[in-house]
Amino acid sequence: MEDKLQALSRSRDREKPSPNNKPTRRWRQTAVAGIPWILAVIAVLLVLILFGERMLPATSVVVEPVVTLPETKGGNPTGGAVLETRTGNPYAGTALFQASGWIEADPYPHRATALAGGIVDRVHVLEGQSVRAGDPIATLIDDDSELRLNMAEANLSAAKAALDAAASEQELAHARIESMQQQIEVAEARRQELSDLAIRAEDLGPEVLAEQEIIQAGLRLRTQEQTVEALKAQVLERELEAQRLGGQLRVRSSLLAEAQVRLREAQLEFDRMIVRAPVDGIIQRLMVAPGQKKVLMADNPESATVAILFQPEKLQARIDVPIAEAARLSPGQAVLVESEFLGGVELKGHIQRIVGEADLQRNTLQVKVRIDNPPAGLRPEILCRARFLDTRVTDSSIQSGPEGVVESGTGGARGLSVLVPTLALYDGSGPEPFVWVVDESGRRTERRQVRLAGEERDGYALVREGLRPGDRVVVKTSSELREGSRIQY
Q: What is the CATH number of the domain that holds 447?
A: 2.40.420.20
Phi, psi (5° rounding) for residue 435? -130, 155
Indicate whether 365 and 431 sit together in one domain. Answer: no
Looking at the fold, whether 148 and 224 belong to one and the same domain comes out as yes
Query: Does residue 209 lie within any of the structural domains?
Result: yes
Q: Determine the Cα–Cα distance for residues 450 and 437; give it in Å rounded to an integer.
A: 11
Angle, vertex CA 27, rays to CA 23 and CA 29, nearest 5: 120
Question: What's the DSSP call for residue 188?
Answer: H
Say yes or no: 148 and 226 in one domain: yes
Instruction: Indicate the number of domains in the chain.
Output: 4
Q: How far apart are CA 79 and CA 91, in angstroms?
A: 27
Q: What is the CA radius of gyration of the chain?
A: 49
DSSP 228-247: HHHHHHHHHHHHHHHHHHHH
Contact by Cβ (8 Å): 88, 405: yes
Measured CA to CA, the distance from residue 270 to residue 276 in angstroms comes to 13
User: Which pLDDT belongs to residue 63?
Assistant: 84
Based on the fold, state whether residues 247 and 156 are members of the same structural domain: yes
Whether 8 maps to a domain, the answer reads no
Q: Tell me if 300 is assigned to some domain.
A: yes
**C-alpha closest to that of 58 among 424, 445, 360:** 445
Confirm if 329 and 313 have CB atoms less than 8 A apart.
Answer: no
* Burial (Cβ within 10 Å: 0-12, 13-18, ≥19) of residue 186: exposed
Q: How do beta strands 110-113 and 347-354 pair?
A: unpaired
The C-alpha atoms of residue 395 and residue 399 are separated, in whole angstroms, by 9
Considering the domain architecture, whether residues 337 and 301 belong to the same structural domain is answered as no
The most distant pair of C-alpha atoms in the chain lies apart, rounded to whole Å, by 192
Parallel/antiparallel/unpaired status of strands 383-389 and 434-438:
unpaired
148 and 248 part of one domain: yes
pLDDT for the residue numbered 79: 46
Q: What does DSSP assign to residue 359?
A: B
Nearest to 328 by CA among 51, 15, 69: 69
C-alpha distances out from residue 324 to 8, 209, 300, 311, 467, Å: 94, 131, 37, 33, 12
CATH number of the domain bearing residue 298: 2.40.50.100
**Same domain membership, residue 148 and residue 249:** yes
Print the domain residue range for 132.
111-141+273-308
Predicted local distance difference test score (pLDDT) of residue 124: 94
Strands 305-310 and 281-286: antiparallel
Q: Whole-model pTM?
A: 0.53
| Secondary structure of residue 284 in the 3-state scheme | strand
The pLDDT value recorded for residue 401 is 37
Q: Residue 96: inside a domain, yes or no?
A: yes
Q: Are residues 304 and 360 in the same domain?
A: no
Determine the Cα–Cα distance for residues 316 and 392; give it in Å rounded to an integer. 22
For the chain, give the number of residues: 489
Residues 469 and 443 in one domain: yes
Q: Report the C-alpha gap between 230 and 330 in whole angstroms.
A: 94
Q: For the chain, how many helices (H) and strands (E)? A: 5, 27
How many alpha carbons fall within 13 Å on the CB side of residue 318? 13
**Is the bond preceding 107 in cis, omega lying within 30 degrees of 0?**
yes
pLDDT score at 112: 92
For position 393, what pLDDT does the model report?
Answer: 43
DSSP letters for 390-458: --EEEGGGEEE-GGGPEEE-S-S--EEEEEEEGGG-B--SSSS-EEEEE-TTSSBEEEEE-EEEEEEET
17 in a domain, yes or no?
A: no
Residues 172 and 91 occupy one common structural domain: no
Tell me which of 338, 365, 393 is where a domain ends: 393
Distance CA 322, CA 254 (A): 64
Counting Cβ atoms within 10 Å, is residue 113 exposed (0-12), middle (13-18) or buried (19+)?
middle
CB 68 within 8 A of CB 327: yes
Please say whether the beta carbons of 435 and 472 come within 8 A: no
| Element spanning 304, H or E | none
pLDDT attached to residue 82:
38
Domain membership flag for residue 86:
yes
- What does the pLDDT read at residue 396? 37
User: Which residues lie closer than 8 Å to 294 by C-beta, 6 or more apart?
Assistant: 114, 117, 118, 119, 120, 140, 288, 303, 304, 306
Q: Is residue 385 part of a domain?
A: yes
Looking at the structure, tell me whether residues 135 and 176 fall in a common domain. no
Paired sense of beta strands 487-488 and 59-65, if any: parallel
Tell me, what CATH number does 92's domain have? 2.40.30.170
One domain for residues 246 and 154: yes
d(CA 264, CA 149): 9
Q: Cβ neighbours of residue 312 under 8 Å, at least 6 residues apart?
A: 281, 282, 374, 376, 378
pLDDT tens string for the chain (489 positions)? 556 555 555 555 555 555 555 556 666 677 677 778 888 888 778 776 766 555 567 788 888 888 776 655 455 554 443 344 444 577 877 888 889 999 999 888 999 999 888 999 999 999 999 999 999 999 999 989 999 999 999 999 999 998 898 888 888 888 888 888 888 888 888 888 888 888 887 877 777 777 888 788 788 888 888 888 888 888 888 888 888 888 888 998 999 999 999 999 999 999 999 999 999 999 999 999 999 888 887 778 888 899 999 999 999 999 999 887 887 888 888 999 998 888 878 899 999 888 877 777 778 889 999 999 999 889 999 999 999 988 654 333 333 333 333 333 333 334 567 888 988 888 866 778 999 998 877 788 888 989 888 888 778 888 888 888 778 899 888 788 888 888 887
Q: 34 lies in a domain?
A: no
